[in-house]
Structure formats: C-alpha cells, structure tokens
Amino acid sequence: MLLFLYSEDLFSYKDFESYERIMSWDVVRFKRLLRDGWIRKWRENTNKECALYTLSFKGKSLMSSVYRKLSGLEVITESPDRNPIFKKKASSQSKIYKEMILEMNEAIKRSKQS
C-alpha cells in the first residue's frame, strides 16, 4: 500500500479504499497506518470537502529508501544490528534472502566501479 501511496500526492479515504481492493482484506489497515505514523491527515473534513491524507515524513523516507535500493543507488545493509536477516540465528528462508542481498550488493558495487 505504501508503495502505491508514494506515487500519489494527496488521497481521500475513498481513494484509499479503492486502492485497497487489490490487496488482501484488512479491515484496520487505514487506521493502523494512520496510528503508526505512516500516513497523516493533510486536510480536515469540512462541509464541502472531504479530508485528505498524505504519506508522512516517516512513510516518504521509507519509500524513498526502498526506491533507492531497487534502483541500485543504495545497498541493503548487511549489518546484523540493522538487518535481522544477517543475524547468526536467522531462519533458513532468511539465509536465502541473505545470499540474494549479498549478490545484489556486489552487483551494485561492481556497477559503481565501472
């Protein structure tokens, strides 16, 4: 949801509901995103206009970081303190992700050297 909302500037609750239809059902998604600070109210509801929302600074920062990683401008951290996938007691699935992250980071480093 945040990836989609990142491409939107402002959205209403009705807009949010229409975007949400393509995702698995979660009755509290909007309230949780608002409560946890991922989205914020941009304009209050008035008699003539509906309330508008936008991604918060927290949400925009996260999405910006995701896009930088996906575009190869930023590597994914390999520090176990910041990325639980790199902890010694990680699950077997996490180890598979870890190997892919290492390969991706290596490719990014090689492309920057060229």
Buried-exposed string 87-107: b where 16+ CB fall within 10 A, e elsewhere = eeebeeebeeebeebeeebee
Q: How would you write the pLDDT of the chain (114 residues) with one tens digit per residue? A: 999 899 999 999 999 999 999 998 888 999 999 999 999 999 999 999 999 999 999 999 999 999 998 888 999 999 999 999 999 998 999 999 999 999 999 998 888 887
The distance from CA 53 to its chain's CA centroid, rounded to whole angstroms, is 17
Q: Is residue 69 part of a domain?
A: no
Contacts of 62 (CB under 8 A, 6+ apart): 2, 38
- Count: domains in the chain: 2
Q: Are residues 57 and 79 in the same domain?
A: no
Q: Are residues 42 and 8 in the same domain?
A: yes
Q: Considering the entire predicted model, what is its pTM?
A: 0.79
Q: Are residues 103 and 52 in the same domain?
A: no
State the residue range of the domain holding 11: 2-64
